[in-house]
Amino acid sequence: MSKTETGKDIQKAVNTLKKGGLVAIPTETVYGLAANAFDPEAVTGIFEAKQRPSFDPLIVHTDTLEKVKSFTTHIPEKARILAEKFWPGPLTLVLEKQNIIPDIVSSGLTTVGVRMPNHPLTRELLSLIDFPVAAPSANPFGYISPTTAEHVAAQLSDKVDYILDGGECKVGIESTIIGFENDEPVILRLGGLSIDEIENVVGKVDVMPHSSSNPKAPGMLKSHYAPKKKFYLGNINELLKEHPGKEVGVLTFKPMNTGHPYYFALSENGDMHEAAANLFSLMRKLDNSPIEAIIAERVPDTGLGKAINDRLSRASAQS
Ligand code: TXA
Ligand code: MG
């Protein structure tokens, strides 16, 4: 296949999905690699394109609660409250599924992750189809998630049928995933919706510690979101001493004078939303820079900072 077309042609995206093809779609979190979730063969294409282990279940995306009810069996009260408050938005709810969701989507689990993304192009696309789309982040498995159409094209270009270009993702990190135990919410993955926002609506929620062997969140491998370069996380001044010379790239929360040519701050004035929106783009920029390693610091562990720190520590897990 030659280089994939990128554009804003929603009808082309619709037709491609209807034919069982793969379309990269913009969302407010990250770009997704979408296929008809009811079509197991189409979904197989996602795993091939991403080289993703098939034990890792996918999130399905749709645009109305009516549609969600047509492929799930039970929506706990607190799930309904969260859906009404935060959908469309950076929240995924893990719900009991109907058989119409094939095993390849859920990796054989009885549940399916469901999300209503908040992006005008993708919402229009979803309103024009009568099936949900399964869509993991549109990056090769384990690598940094894409937050622009160019990121998708750079890595999956020949493996996708069409890239729907919706500009830069506004939130910039993946959705918060919530599962239910006896109808009580449990956070399975930290993400673009903060714990505080969730607890304001449904009261105290547990956060499941992530581990690669956790059957509740099989995709939560410790090492993930990883650049190809070595990635060290810690105190910037100490890391600079450990890595003298200018061959490292530096990523900080707020601007800092390091004298390094490959230096980026996540936010100009310490705004956590701006930091989240810039995170993956800057990690990618550094990964593509002529340096040997990347050193970075954690951000304050408040609000979205917890999800940013989760991504940073997983990016560093291999180093
Ligand atoms: O923001 C997002 O969530 C993005 C955009 C494209 O919507 N999608 C995304 O998908 O991050 P992905 O495939 O990269 O991450 C899906 C995560 C995996 O860690 C997987 O384990 C978890 O969702 N997941 C999916 N279905 C699940 C289920 N039934 N039970 C538990 N975890 C599930
Ligand atoms: Mg992903």
Q: Is the CB of residue 276 less than 8 Å from the CB of residue 171?
A: yes
Other CB atoms within a 10 A radius of the CB of residue 204 amount to: 9
57 in ligand 1 pocket by Cβ < 6 Å? Answer: yes
d(CA 37, CA 61): 9
Summarised one tens digit per residue, pLDDT across range 261-281 is 899 999 999 999 999 999 999
pTM above 0.90, yes or no: yes
Mean pLDDT of 20-36: 98
Summarised one tens digit per residue, pLDDT across range 101-141 is 999 999 999 999 999 999 999 999 999 999 999 999 999 98
Q: Is the CB of residue 31 less than 8 Å from the CB of residue 170?
A: no
Mean pLDDT of 216-230: 70
Mean pLDDT of 167-175: 98
Weakest mean pLDDT among 79-88, 203-212, 237-246? 203-212
Single-letter code of the amino acid located at 75: I
**CA distances from residue 150 to 5, 118, 257, 259 in whole angstroms, order as listed:** 11, 20, 30, 29
Given a cut of 70, whether residue 214 has pLDDT beyond it is no
218 in ligand 1 pocket by Cβ < 6 Å? Answer: yes
More confident residue, 53 or 146: 146
Q: What is the pLDDT of residue 2?
A: 59
Given a cut of 80, whether residue 221 has pLDDT beyond it is no
Given a cut of 80, whether residue 40 has pLDDT beyond it is yes
142 in ligand 1 pocket by Cβ < 6 Å? Answer: no
Question: Counting Cβ atoms within 10 Å, is residue 203 exposed (0-12), middle (13-18) or buried (19+)?
Answer: exposed
- Which ligand is closest to the CA of 179, given by its number? 1
| Domains parsed from the chain with CATH numbers | 6-207 (3.90.870.10), 230-315 (3.40.50.11030)
Residue percentage of the chain with pLDDT more than 70: 94
Summarised one tens digit per residue, pLDDT across range 41-73 is 999 999 999 988 777 899 999 999 999 999 999
Which token pair is 53? 């282990």
In ligand 1, the atom with minimum distance to the C-alpha of 191 is 1
177 in ligand 1 pocket by Cβ < 6 Å? Answer: yes
Q: What is the pLDDT of residue 76?
A: 98
Q: What is the pLDDT of residue 222?
A: 63
146 in ligand 1 pocket by Cβ < 6 Å? Answer: no
Mean pLDDT estimate for the chain:
93
Given a cut of 60, whether residue 204 has pLDDT beyond it is yes
Residue percentage of the chain with pLDDT more than 90: 86
- Tell me: ipTM over 0.90: yes
Residue 185, helix vs strand vs coil: strand
Instruction: Say how many Å lie between the CA of residue 240 and the centre of ligand 1.
Output: 35
Instruction: Say how many Å lie between the CA of residue 140 and the centre of ligand 2.
Output: 9
d(CA 155, CA 301): 31
Mean pLDDT of 88-102: 98
Q: What is the pLDDT of residue 55?
A: 72
Non-local (6+) Cβ contacts of 38 within 8 A are 100, 101, 102, 131, 132
Which token pair is 69? 């009810």
27 in ligand 1 pocket by Cβ < 6 Å? Answer: yes
Q: Residue 10: enclosing H or E segment and its boundaries?
A: helix 10-18
Upper half-sphere CA count for residue 60 (Cβ side, 13 Å): 36
- Which ligand is closest to the CA of 226, given by its number? 2
Q: What is the pLDDT of residue 223?
A: 66
- Which ligand is closest to the CA of 220, given by its number? 1
Given a cut of 70, whether residue 215 has pLDDT beyond it is no
Q: Residue 73: enclosing H or E segment and its boundaries?
A: strand 72-74
